Amino acid sequence: MNRRHALKALAGLALCPVCKPSFAAEGAHWSYEGAGAPAKWGDLDAANKACAVGLQQSPIDIEATVKSQLPALKVNWGKSADTIVNNGHTIQLNFAEGSTLTLGDVKYKLLQVHFHRPSEHQIGGKNFPMEAHFVHRNDAGGLAVVGVLMAEGRPNAAFGKIVKTMPAAEAPAVKADPSIDPHAMLPTKLSYFRYPGSLTTPPCSEVVEWLLLTTPVQVSAADVAAFAKLYPMNARPVQKDNRRYVLRSI
């Protein structure tokens, strides 16, 4: 296996923290266009079957919601990231042990945050310029992903530092700027939409508790444009909701 193929395999593992390592052949490589495009993910590898036949796939277009008494999101993250990587699919920051999210009586560990352009989730049929996914895992292997919609407006200090330090080409992870505080990429109000879903990348495993914040954060148009030079489009199209209820916190 050459270096590029190894990096692709590791990138897939980083985006799917519950997957076993699988150094697949080149034919199984997935992407957002061409032969490895989202419509073909389910056929690329038997492990990706859920991408084609799953009934709780993500992302979705959020329209009708049910107001519910949902537990508050208790975010207890550290104030810096460990490493940053361009993994061939996105820019991702990885976090060291110690950062957690508590949802009701379940505690999740923060693993990483990565970015999509445009947003993968839609609100009433419309995309936002970008979306951040903070991926958490509990001791049982379940995932909780806090999605943050990103609108163009005032500069965001944390995202600006990410853009300034993001590797321009696919390569192994390097140390992140210690001044990047993940809290700065959250809105003040943590109200959210909640629904059962999946990873939005292969193998599309349906093990995700989606927690999409209702309030977007603002980032500068220049920073969005800089990210777009590396990844002009890295978003999976919306999937059928299959009559799933989307709850909205009060």
Q: Enumerate the β-bridge partners of residue 103.
A: 73, 106
Q: Are 16 and 91 in contact (CB under 8 A)?
A: no
| Domain ranges, ordered by start, for the chain | 54-249
CATH of domain 54-249: 3.10.200.10
Identify the sign of the CA torsion 196, 128, 239, 84.
Answer: negative
Q: What is the DSSP string of the chain?
A: --HHHHHHHHHHHHH-TTSPP----GGG---SSGGG-GGGHHHH-GGGTHHHH-SS-S--EE-S-EEE-PPPEEEE--SS-SEEEE-SS-EEEE--TT-EEEETTEEEEEEEEEEESS-SSEETTB--SEEEEEEEE-TTS-EEEEEEEEEESS--HHHHHHHHHS-SS----EEPPTT--GGGGS-S---EEEEEE--SSTT--S-EEEEEESSPEEE-HHHHHHHHHH-S---PPP---TT---EEE-
pLDDT recorded at residue 106: 97
Sign of CA dihedral 139, 143, 144, 149: positive
Percent of the residues in the chain that have a pLDDT greater than 70, as a whole number: 89
* Backbone region of residue 114 per phi and psi (left: phi > 0; alpha: psi in -120 to 50; beta: other values): beta
pLDDT (average), residues 157-175 = 98
The half-sphere exposure of 28 on its side-chain side, counting CA atoms within 13 A, is: 16
Averaged pLDDT, 115-137: 98
- pTM here? 0.90
Query: Which residues are known catalytic residues?
Result: 89
pLDDT at 85: 98
Residue 19: is its pLDDT beyond 90? no
Rounded to an integer, the average pLDDT of 26-51 is 90
Beta strand pairing status for 122-123 and 61-62? parallel
Residue 11 has what pLDDT?
39
Residue 122 pLDDT greater than 80, yes or no: yes
Residue 6 reports pLDDT greater than 80 = no
Answer whether residue 247 shows pLDDT above 90: yes
Instruction: Please report where in the chains the tokens 């419509």 appear, as a residue.
Output: 39
